[in-house]
Amino acid sequence: MKMVKIIAATLLVTGAVSFASAATADVNFKRCIACHGTKAEKVPPGGTIASATLTAAEIKKTLRSYKTDKTYGGKMKATMQIQVKPFSEEDLDALADYIFTNFHIAK
């Protein structure tokens, strides 16, 4: 019985964290709209591809690279580095999953 309560509590907390991550990602995505479009469908200034055409893994890799590799990126790398700086790894993952889940366009 005690194990069932522990499992139930774990699932409840995990669900709450997932919901919070999704809600946070929705808010965080609003920072992207000006350059990437309301559905991540635009090729941003200085960019080469729309984010909506990437997989979640590709988006995660790109966001992490902007955050951790100061040499990564094209003309707009300084702008992107500023944009991702305040986000944790979990925030970046949630944002990538949000973009992929809500806006993915198959190539």
60-78 pLDDT, tens per residue?
Answer: 999 999 999 999 998 999 9
Tell me the CATH number at 17. 1.10.760
Whole-model pTM?
A: 0.78
Which pLDDT band holds residue 2 (cuts at 50, 70, 90)?
Answer: low
Q: At 24, phi and psi to the nearest 5?
A: -65, -40
Residue span of the structural domain in which 41 resides: 2-103
The confidence score (pLDDT) of residue 50 equals 97
Number of domains in the chain: 1
Among 90, 73, 69, 61, smallest CA distance to 35 is for 73
